Amino acid sequence: MEQSYKMYVEVGAVFERDGRIVPKWLKIGDSRYDIERVLDCRRAASMKAGGCGLRYSIRCRGQNAYLFYEDADPGAWFVESRKAVSAEEIL
Amino acid sequence: MRTILHSDANCFYASVEMLHHPEFRDVPMAVGGDPETRHGIILTANYIAKRRGVRTGSALWEAKETCPGLVILPPDYDQYLRFSRYLRELYGEYTDRVEAFGLDECWMDASESCGIKGDGEKIAKEINRRVKKELGITVSVGVSWNKIFAKFGSDYRKPDAVTCVTGENYRQIVWKQPVSELLYVGRSTSAKLKRLGITTIGELAESNPDFLYAYLGKMGRTLSVFANGEDRTPVSFAGEAPAVKSVGNGMTMPYDLRTDEEVRVSCYMLAENVARRLRENGLAGDVIEIYTRDSELRGRTCQHRIGIPTNISGEIAEEAFRLFRENYCWKNPVRGICVRVSDLTGEKQPYQLSIFQNEAARRKQRIMDRTVENIRRRFGDDSIRRGLMAFGPDITPRKRKEQVIHPLSYFQKGNLSGA
């Protein structure tokens, strides 16, 4: 299996009235990426990056990617990243 | 016939660590306590380490010797509690009867949900698959019609497996196994049974329960029921907190104790904590128990009913120490002690006074305990101590977050097995 790294990212999200959390954008380095669509949301483990939580399948700049919400205390968002961290490689 | 599942997370602590540290997945790895405070034992090892001879409970140095290159990580209980909660949430989608047995094991009674979710085996396979996918760890699931065989099934094949123990196959699966595989048959019971020529669970099942009763006492009948798959203990509802049945405090000492005096000091130390917690909850109990673990990690429990419910630290300590002196033979030094009070009643409950007991003095001791507690609350735990504490190990039991790590007793709510 290809080794990935866990990269925590800054995320802007909306807390819906029914309790759902919908991510709207994420920030990698200095660039901000708007999330065009959330395709799916389910609890899943990331064996690649090492972690588990709510896995959002998102569409961003025409690319599909996973964004995880780790509902620990404190909760945090992460993406699976290859070592050389540039946003283009994740998305 | 009920459908009971028992799910057991394989090498729970190690699996959670391996999920978060992919770099340790293919190397021998273990989670171990802090060697500085002598909690330096292996708590869980991954399968690679287990295959190379690392055993739960062995000392860290010992483990490193048997398995060079072993990676040892400190435990992260918050993380394990989180995963334990995830597991229970997932189980909760199948039934409202989810009873935890420690952090990593759960029983489920799926009898009512079989109509919707499919039979026991189907549910077990689904749980097994989902845990792997959603949480990234593996579970072994046992399915049977009673809790004992379900637990047996989850231990039978691991990791990541489903075992069904049915009316057709239990004689082949369960009965052929050594008797020590049965819940509540430990080192000393299996030695006793061996003397009777009982070595397998099948032989135990086929023995006359009255004979077992005569030989083992109450537990004899219960074990017979267990071995025959006739256990009727229900699975508790999720979130059902059992009433407090005992209050205890134990710890591994910073060094091995070698004299009676050191043990006595430790008894007082632990008893003060037990008495405080009893008082905080308005309880008193009249069965005093002391558990000792020697440097060979052999544990032994002694208990005595004193006849008058107490929450006086001095009484608890002296009784615990008396039990210790009468029963411990000092073949090995003492590594850990636990003092416990059980058979609890409300402290305001009336009780039969004894003409041999000085009630006025007891009242004074009770007031004294309270006063000492007040002083400690205002000026700190070390502000006032018994004189004898100067002569023993410096062990201030820390007030920690309440955490149930070890499995609770199967008989938490009494013996409901039907024996």
Residues of chain B with CATH 3.30.1490.100: 246-391
Q: Taking a contact as any Cβ pair under 8 Å apart, which residues of chain B between 41 and 100 contact chain A?
A: 78-79, 82, 86
Compute how many other C-beta atoms are within 10 angstroms of the C-beta atom of residue B254. 13
Domain annotation covers residue A53? yes
Residue A68 lies inside a defined structural domain of this protein: yes
* DSSP calls for B158-183: -SS-EEE--TTTHHHHTTTSBGGGST
Residues of A in contact with B19 (CB under 8 A): 45, 47, 50-52
The residue segments making up the domain with residue A53 are 5-83
A74 is a domain residue? yes
How far is it, in rounded angstroms, from Cα B48 to Cα B172? 30
Round to whole Å and give the CA distance between A79 and A7.
5
A90 domain residue, yes or no: no
Q: Choose the mutation target among B133, B137, B160 for the interface with A, i.e. most A CBs under 10 Å.
A: B133
Q: Does B22 touch chain A (CB under 8 A)?
A: yes
Place of tokens 């091995």: B256
How close A55 gets to chain B, by Cα (Å)?
A: 9
Amino acid, single-letter form, for residue B246: S
Q: Which CATH number fits domain B246-391: 3.30.710.10, 3.40.50.1970, 3.40.50.10320, 3.30.1490.100?
A: 3.30.1490.100
DSSP B194-248: HHTT--BHHHHHHS-HHHHHHHHTHHHHHHHHHHTT---PPPPPTT-PPPP-EEE
User: How would you list the strands of the sheet with B29-32, edge to edge?
Assistant: B42-45, B29-32, B71-73
Closest residue by Cα to residue B341 from B377, B301, B303, B398: B303
Rounded Cα gap, residues B146 and B1, in angstroms: 9
Q: Is residue A9 domain-resident?
A: yes
In this complex, do B82 and A72 lie within 8 Å of one another by their Cβ atoms? yes
Q: Is the pTM of this model over 0.95?
A: no
Q: Which residue in the set B20, B86, B133 is minimally distant from A51, CB to CB?
A: B20
CB-nearest partner of A45 from B21, B23, B136: B136
Q: How many CA atoms lie within 13 A of A60 on its CB side?
A: 23
Enumerate the β-bridge partners of residue B283.
Answer: B346
Per-residue tokens: B175: 């009965």
Residue A89: inside a domain = no
Q: Is B407 exposed, middle or buried (0-12, 13-18, 19+ CB in 10 A)?
A: middle
| Predicted pLDDT of residue B404 | 46
Q: In whole angstroms, how far apart are CA B174 and each of B13, B143, B164, B204, B228?
A: 28, 13, 11, 11, 10
Using alpha carbons, list the distances in angstroms from residue A67 to A34, A81, B53, B261, B327. 13, 11, 39, 60, 60
pLDDT at A81: 80
CATH class name, domain B1-174: alpha beta
- The closest of B159, B157, B129 to B143, measured between CA atoms, is B157
Task: Tell me which DSSP letter residue B409 carries.
Answer: P
Q: Which residues of A touch B (CB under 8 A)?
A: 3-4, 42-52, 72-73
d(CA B263, CA B320): 10
Whether A88 is covered by a domain: the verdict is: no
- What average pLDDT does the segment A57-79 reach? 88
Positive or negative: CA dihedral B176, B179, B181, B183: positive
pLDDT score, position B400: 44
Domains in chain A, number:
1
- SS3 sequence of B303-339: EEEEEEEECCHHHHHHHHHHHHHHHCCCCCCEEEEEE
Q: Please give chain B's pLDDT, 419 residues, in tens.
A: 899 999 999 999 999 999 998 889 899 999 987 766 666 788 899 999 999 998 888 888 888 888 888 888 888 888 888 898 899 999 999 998 898 888 889 999 999 888 888 888 999 999 999 999 999 999 999 999 999 999 999 999 888 999 999 888 988 888 988 988 888 888 888 898 898 898 999 998 998 989 889 888 888 888 999 999 888 888 888 766 656 778 888 888 888 889 998 899 999 999 998 999 888 888 899 999 999 998 888 888 999 999 889 999 999 999 999 999 999 989 999 999 999 999 888 888 888 888 888 889 999 999 999 999 999 889 988 888 888 887 766 665 444 444 444 556 677 677 777 76
Q: Which residue in the set A43, A51, A72 is minimally distant from B19, CB to CB?
A: A51
Q: Where in chain B is the domain with CATH 3.30.70.270?
A: 1-174
- Confirm or reject contact between B187 and chain A (CB < 8 A): no
The answer to whether B178 faces chain A, any CB pair under 8 Å, is no
Residue B105 is among the residues annotated as catalytic for this protein: yes
Match 């049977």 to its residue by tokens.
Answer: B144
Task: Tell me how many degrees the CA angle B316-B272-B388 measures, rounded to the nearest 5.
Answer: 90
Q: Cβ distance A36 to A23 under 8 Å?
A: no
Question: Which residue from B minimizes the CA distance to A41?
Answer: B134
Q: Which residue has the tokens 């919908």?
A: A22
Cα–Cα distance between B134 and A46 in angstroms, integer? Answer: 9
Q: Is the ipTM of this complex over 0.85?
A: no
CA-to-CA distance for B149 and B174, rounded, in angstroms?
A: 8
